């Protein structure tokens, strides 16, 4: 049985104070984004440039990827191509096996989440230590991250304290974030120094130079990459940008959109491996070329994974990332995931009121809310909605095509509600759970009009 | 200037006073208004649920009723947005295109076409403005907090012409109320939580009324307000703009 | 694997849309700061860094000499400050773990975000900027540009195998959004700006 957003959201909301905290905290991040954006008079122009650069890139993608590969290889980087998540995992595993490596650290990479890399390697008896603080916390708790930038945002410091007490022997009941972060720093410092292999994500890959950029606040990607003898960078192929100068546009937008910072602490530009280091890059498709072919949905590939859409989405803030049951939650997840598995993710495009706020905050101008509407049409035409809903909609469409029938149905509904209110005002009527029904007026507008206006 | 009045289905059935206020207001402003009698619905409920494919009959009926007007006006941002983006009749392409080009939500019609500069209206109450999303973001009825552009608001501009009124915005100026069409029942928990949060913010401002340019938002908020036995009432913006004086304001 | 490469590239070629133009990035439309140093200082200090203005290299020279007398493991990577600590590029992570402080020459500073561009050769060893407890960066005041647009015009990202923009110190807010300075990278940063 596929878990559904509506049910998971209902469970999340049952904890009212935690929901309020989650909602307030992420709204605060949205406000920080607003403040940062207001600080740049050219903000809307930047978004337009970013959007156009990405549009152009998608229209010339094959050339840019080949250009990237050529330059990367010339710089000594080993380039791999993976058609899907499984192949990505096999390639990574192959490198690990070849070097006989046991100690692996990984920094934040939504792509590796999408491919379920940790799970795959774990089945092969290989443990990976997630080094982003939020990801390490959820790794200890055996949970997926709930937000692509703030993985542990759904947890309180008390919960983090309990987790660290269990796994790192920190003081029981000490919830101080400073204390807990210090404990994680010491614990992970050892892991970095011992590590033989580091896996990182890629924020941007530069076609012109064959290099790639990794952005972090914590420094964990670099601590791993510069200690390990093998560095594997995993990227979805849509991370390509044409030229190094374009980084100015994207880096100016990324952190401001994500957290309200003008830039992340580290924006590391990798071009060559260290002497005696092996550097690999794995370029992954996993359904992206299929999405590229969907004219209505290809814009979703412009995403730079800033999560501004998560922070602004009133539904996400009140339902939590786990309600989306996928690696990438929120509004962008709802337009990416149906491409990966339409049946399992058929509920996601409906987890929205189509308010349009996401589209407005997207730094690369993805028309997210319009794609949500379009996915709904596709999902229905694929037959992935309940028969009840289908029947109800067919009935509605029929009634609305027939003025006389519409008026009759309206009159009957009003009459029923007036004379037998309990027929609608009861537990079977979902509306009635927490809301009163609207009052029944004496006449419909049309009836009033005929009586008072029509001469 | 011939105007066709489109009264959305749920306003026709449950909030006729909004239709009456719209009609009276337009006539007061010198418009010649016709209400095509065989209209039903714009088709949004089906389309937003993914069933736009079922809308042929509904769309055809709309085109039949609303061909031949200079403008079509409706007191609903979401219905107008839907029509502009999705109304389709393959056998009457020109007519349906004309309708899409000339359909207006009430407030934008008043500011952009009639260019109203003053209203003989009076509503001496504290009113909280709820920025119904589809009208605001879809029809650009007002500026949006996400965009770094100068703020403007067609509805607020009109409300400021009303005597005695005291306006306020909630803390989160344009967060969605949570109605969202069938979302209101299929994601009931989130929908109601969103509505409650909106109401809390208006309550913090001590408003007497919450107004919006979409009765769907108001129906959803009213349901929660009544369940909470709140003293706050809802009112559509058309009713405020049409009010003569507070004492004579009444519902049918 | 070549099979996958061809499969992916062919699929992309088949599905990519018609070519659209690259936009022209007009730097004239971008924010300018009347006092780039002030902006740089304000931003970096607001994110937890420290900025010190110095008239010349001498004052700093003295500080470095004093620090070298102490027990702590200090690396000097700046020729203007005296002898460069030898063999740093050969040091392992285990050896560098005890690194207390490193002095690094930055190429330029960026006023809009308090970042400094550093080439690998100025770090001597890629790990140093991250593994140290305290990072000291030195830039010339005239090398502070307004935004990243100007910065990318001046640097050559692929001149060396590695380079980065660093707007230290390291930080995280992953625990209940409480900002904590000193995540995995340095715990503090001082940027000396030489007139």
* Spatial CA neighbour of B98 closest among B76, B69, B74: B69
pLDDT-derived band at B250 (thresholds 50, 70, 90) equals very low
* pLDDT tens digits for range A322-351: 999 999 999 999 999 999 999 999 999 999
Task: Report if residue C107 sits inside a domain.
Answer: yes
- pLDDT, tens digit, 9 for 90 and up, residues B205-229: 999 999 999 999 999 999 999 999 9
Give CA A136 to chain center in angstroms.
18
Name the β-bridge partners of B122.
B163
- With CA atoms as reference, the chain A residue closest to B54 would be A397
Q: How do strand C73-76 and strand C144-145 relate by DSSP bridges? A: unpaired
**Total number of domains in chain C:** 1
C17 is a domain residue? no
- Among partner residues A19, A394, A446, which is closest to B54 by beta-carbon distance? A394
Whether residues C176 and A270 touch (CB distance < 8 A) is answered with no
Considering the domain boundaries, does residue C172 fall inside one? yes
What pLDDT sits at residue A455? 58
Residue C177 confidence (pLDDT): 87
pLDDT at B248: 42
Chains C and B touch (3+ CB pairs under 8 A): no
Q: For B5-16, how does the pLDDT look when each residue is reduced to its tens digit (9 = 90+)?
A: 999 999 999 999
Which segments of chain B does DSSP mark as H helices, in order? 9-14, 16-28, 44-48, 56-66, 77-86, 93-102, 106-108, 133, 154-159, 183-186, 188-204, 215-227, 237-241
**A445 in reach of chain B (CB within 8 A):** yes
Q: Chain-wide mean pLDDT for chain B? A: 95
Chain C nearest C-alpha distance from A372 (Å) = 21
The pLDDT, as a whole number, for residue B251 is: 42
Which residues on A lie below 8 Å from C157 (Cβ)? 206, 209, 211, 244, 247, 269, 271
The residue segments making up the domain with residue C39 are 22-194
Question: pLDDT > 70: what percent of chain B?
Answer: 96
* Interchain pair A438, B11: CB under 8 A: no
Tell whether B150 lies on the interface with A, counting CB pairs under 8 A. Answer: no
| % of chain C exceeding 70 in pLDDT | 99
| C169 cis-preceded (ω within 30 degrees of 0) | yes
Residue B230 DSSP class: -
Neighbours of C70 (CB within 10 A): 10
* Chain B interface, best mutation among A40, A310, A316, A354, by max B CB count within 10 A: A354
Partner chains of A (3+ C-beta pairs under 8 Å):
B, C
CB proximity B224 to A under 8 Å? yes
Residues ≥6 apart with Cβ < 8 Å to A72: A79, A210, A211, A281
Residue C180 within a domain = yes
Instruction: Write phi, then psi, for A29 (nearest 5 degrees).
Output: -65, -40
Inter-chain residue contact B61 with A400, CB threshold 8 Å: yes
Give the Cα separation of A40 and C146 in Å (integer): 12
Phi, psi of C97 (to 5 degrees): -55, -35
State which residue of chain A sits closest to B13, comparing Cα positions: A444
Interface residue B135 vs chain A (CB under 8 A): no
pLDDT computed for residue C68 by the predictor = 78
- pLDDT tens track for B155-171: 999 999 999 999 999 99
Nearest-Cα residue of chain B relative to residue A417: B14
CB nearest to B192's CB, from A41, A355, A435:
A435
- Which of A81, A182, A289 lies at the smallest CB-CB distance from C1? A81
Which of A56, A210, A242 is closest, CB to CB, to C20?
A56
Residue A420 banded pLDDT, cuts 50, 70, 90: confident
> Which residues 310-369 on chain A approach chain B with CB closer than 8 angstroms?
312, 314-315, 318-319, 350-357, 359-361
**Contacts with A222 from chain C: Cβ below 8 Å:** 126-127, 129-130, 164, 185
Asked whether the beta carbons of residue B183 and residue A377 sit closer than 8 angstroms, the reply is: no
Instruction: Please give the Cα distance from C6 to A200 (Å, whole number).
Output: 25
Summarize pLDDT for B68-115 with one digit per residue, the tens. 999 999 999 999 999 999 999 999 999 999 999 999 999 999 999 999
**Among A299, A323, A314, A305, CA closest to A358:** A314
Q: Is B192's pLDDT higher than 80?
A: yes
- Residue range C74-115, pLDDT digits in tens: 999 999 998 899 899 999 999 999 999 999 999 999 999 999
- Look up residue A382 and give its DSSP letter: T
For β-strands C162-166 and A266-270, DSSP reports them as antiparallel
Flag if A353 and B20 touch (Cβ within 8 Å). Answer: no
Lowest mean pLDDT among A365-379, A420-434, B72-86: A420-434
In this complex, is the C-beta atom of A253 within 8 Å of any C-beta atom belonging to chain C?
no
A239 touches chain B (CB under 8 A): no
C5: in domain: no
Q: Is A201 left (phi over 0), alpha (psi -120 to 50) or beta?
A: beta
**pLDDT surpassing 90 at residue C136:** yes
Q: Which residues of A touch C4 (CB under 8 A)?
A: 81-83, 87, 285
Query: Does B36 touch chain A if contact means CB atoms closer than 8 Å?
Result: no
Asked if residue A31 has pLDDT above 90, the reply is yes
Query: Does the pLDDT value for residue A59 go beyond 50?
Result: yes
Q: Is A233 helix (H, G, I), strand (E, B) or coil?
A: strand
Q: In chain A, which residues have their Cβ closer than 8 Å to the Cβ of B189? A: 6, 9-10, 13-14
Q: Is the minimum CB–CB distance between A430 and chain B shorter than 8 Å?
A: yes
Identity of the residue in A356, A397, A434 whose CB atom sits nearest the CB atom of B55: A397
Whether the predicted pLDDT of B247 surpasses 50: no
Does the structure show a pLDDT above 90 at A454? no
- Mean pLDDT for A131-137 is 95
Q: Which residue of B has its CA nearest to A411?
A: B13
Is the Cβ pair A401, B147 closer than 8 Å? no
**Could you tell me if residue C4 is inside a domain?**
no
Task: For residue C98, give the nearest of C65, C66, C137, C131 by alpha carbon.
Answer: C131
pLDDT at residue A299 above 70? yes
CATH number at residue C168: 3.40.50.10420
A162 inside 8 A of chain C by CB: no
Q: Do B179 and A353 touch (CB under 8 A)?
A: yes
What is the count of residue pairs from A and C with beta carbons less than 8 Å apart?
Answer: 252
In angstroms, the CA A204 to CA A212 distance is 6
Quote the mean pLDDT of chain A: 95
Residue B79 with chain A: CB contacts under 8 Å: none
Contact A44 B45 (CB under 8 A): no
Instruction: Decide if C84 is inside a domain.
Output: yes
Domains of chain A and any CATH numbers: 1-39+313-385 (no CATH), 42-286 (3.40.50.10420), 395-452 (no CATH)
Q: Any chain A CB within 8 A of the CB of B233?
A: no
Residue C8 within any structural domain of the chain: no
The encoded tokens of residue B153 equal 């608001």
């Amino acid at each position: 049985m596929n878990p559904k957003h509506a049910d998971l959201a209902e469970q999340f909301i049952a904890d009212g104070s935690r929901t309020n905290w989650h909602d307030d905290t992420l709204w605060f991040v949205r406000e920080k984004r607003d403040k940062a954006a207001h600080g740049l008079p050219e903000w809307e122009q930047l978004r337009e440039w970013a959007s156009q650069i990405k549009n152009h890139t998608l229209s010339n993608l094959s050339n840019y990827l080949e250009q990237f590969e050529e330059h990367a290889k010339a710089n000594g980087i080993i380039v791999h191509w993976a058609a899907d998540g499984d192949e990505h995992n096999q390639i990574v595993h192959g490198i690990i096996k070849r070097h006989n490596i046991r100690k692996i650290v990984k920094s934040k990479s939504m792509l590796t989440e999408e491919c379920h890399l940790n799970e795959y390697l774990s089945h092969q008896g290989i443990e990976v230590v997630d080094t982003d603080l939020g990801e390490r916390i959820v790794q200890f708790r055996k949970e997926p991250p709930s937000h692509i930038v703030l993985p542990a945002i759904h947890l309180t410091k008390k919960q983090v304290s309990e987790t660290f007490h269990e796994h790192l022997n920190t003081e029981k009941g000490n919830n101080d974030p400073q204390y807990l972060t210090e404990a994680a720093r010491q614990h992970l410092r050892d892991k970095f120094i011992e590590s033989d292999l580091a896996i990182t994500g890629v924020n941007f890959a530069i076609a012109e130079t064959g290099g790639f950029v990794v952005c972090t606040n914590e420094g964990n990607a670099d601590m791993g990459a510069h200690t390990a003898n093998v560095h594997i960078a995993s990227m979805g192929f849509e991370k390509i940008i044409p030229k190094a100068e374009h980084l100015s546009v994207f880096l100016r937008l990324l952190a401001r959109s994500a957290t309200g910072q003008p830039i992340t602490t580290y924006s590391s530009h990798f071009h060559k491996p260290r002497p005696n280091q092996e550097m690999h890059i794995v370029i992954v498709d996993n359904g992206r070329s299929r999405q590229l072919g969907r004219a209505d949905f290809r814009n979703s590939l412009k995403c730079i994974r800033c999560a501004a859409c998560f922070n602004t989405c009133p539904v996400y803030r009140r339902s939590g990332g786990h309600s989306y049951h996928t690696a990438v939650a929120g509004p962008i997840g709802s337009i990416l995931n149906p491409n990966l598995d339409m049946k399992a993710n058929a509920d996601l495009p409906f987890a929205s009121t189509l308010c349009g706020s996401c589209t407005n905050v997207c730094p690369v101008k993805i028309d997210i809310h319009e794609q949500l509407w379009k996915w709904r049409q596709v999902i229905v035409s694929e037959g992935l909605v309940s028969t009840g809903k289908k029947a109800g909609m067919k009935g509605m469409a029929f009634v609305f095509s027939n003025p006389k029938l519409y008026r009759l149905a309206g009159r009957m509904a009003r009459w029923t509600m007036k004379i037998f209110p309990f027929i609608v005002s009861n537990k079977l009527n979902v509306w009635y759970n927490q809301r009163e029904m609207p009052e029944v007026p004496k006449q419909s507008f049309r009836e009033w009009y005929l009586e008072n206006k029509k001469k | 200037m011939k105007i066709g009045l489109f009264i959305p289905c749920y306003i026709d059935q449950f909030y006729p006073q909004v239709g009456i206020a719209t009609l009276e207001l337009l006539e007061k402003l010198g418009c010649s208004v016709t209400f095509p009698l065989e209209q039903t619905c714009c088709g949004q409920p089906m389309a937003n649920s993914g069933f736009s494919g079922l809308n042929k009959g509904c769309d055809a009926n709309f085109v039949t009723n609303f061909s031949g007007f200079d403008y079509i006006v409706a007191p609903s941002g979401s219905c107008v947005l839907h029509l502009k983006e999705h109304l389709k009749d393959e056998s009457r392409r020109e007519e349906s295109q004309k309708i899409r080009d000339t359909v207006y939500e009430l407030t934008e019609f008043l500011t952009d076409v009639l260019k109203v500069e003053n209203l003989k209206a009076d509503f001496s109450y504290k009113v909280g403005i709820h920025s119904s999303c589809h009208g605001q973001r879809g029809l650009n009825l007002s500026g949006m907090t996400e965009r770094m552009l100068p703020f403007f608001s067609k509805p607020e501009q009109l409300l400021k012409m009303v005597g005695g009124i005291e306006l306020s915005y909630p803390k989160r100026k344009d967060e969605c109320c949570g109605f969202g069409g069938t979302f209101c029942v299929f994601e009931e928990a989130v929908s109601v939580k969103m509505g409650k949060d909106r109401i809390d913010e208006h309550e913090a401002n001590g408003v007497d009324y919450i107004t919006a340019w979409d009765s769907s938002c108001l129906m959803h908020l009213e349901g929660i307000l009544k369940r909470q036995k709140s003293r706050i009432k809802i009112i559509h913006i058309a009713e405020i703009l049409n009010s003569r004086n507070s004492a004579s304001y009444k519902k049918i | 694997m070549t099979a996958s490469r061809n499969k992916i590239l062919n699929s992309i070629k088949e599905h990519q849309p018609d070519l659209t133009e690259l936009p022209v990035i007009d730097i004239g439309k971008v924010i300018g700061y009347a006092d780039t140093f002030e902006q740089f200082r304000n931003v970096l200090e607001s994110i937890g860094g420290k900025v010190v203005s110095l008239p010349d290299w001498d004052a700093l020279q003295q500080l470095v000499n004093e620090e070298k007398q102490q027990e702590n493991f200090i690396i000097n990577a700046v020729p203007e400050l005296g002898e460069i600590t030898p063999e740093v590029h050969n040091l392992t992570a285990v050896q560098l773990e005890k690194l207390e402080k490193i002095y690094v020459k930055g190429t330029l500073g960026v006023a809009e975000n308090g970042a400094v561009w550093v080439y690998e050769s100025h770090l001597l060893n890629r790990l140093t900027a991250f593994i140290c407890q305290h990072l000291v960066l030195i830039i010339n005041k005239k090398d502070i540009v307004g935004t990243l647009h100007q910065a990318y015009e001046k640097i050559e990202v692929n001149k060396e195998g590695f380079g980065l923009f660093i707007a230290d110190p390291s930080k995280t807010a992953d625990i209940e959004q409480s900002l904590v300075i000193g995540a995995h990278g340095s715990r503090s940063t001082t940027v000396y700006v030489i007139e």
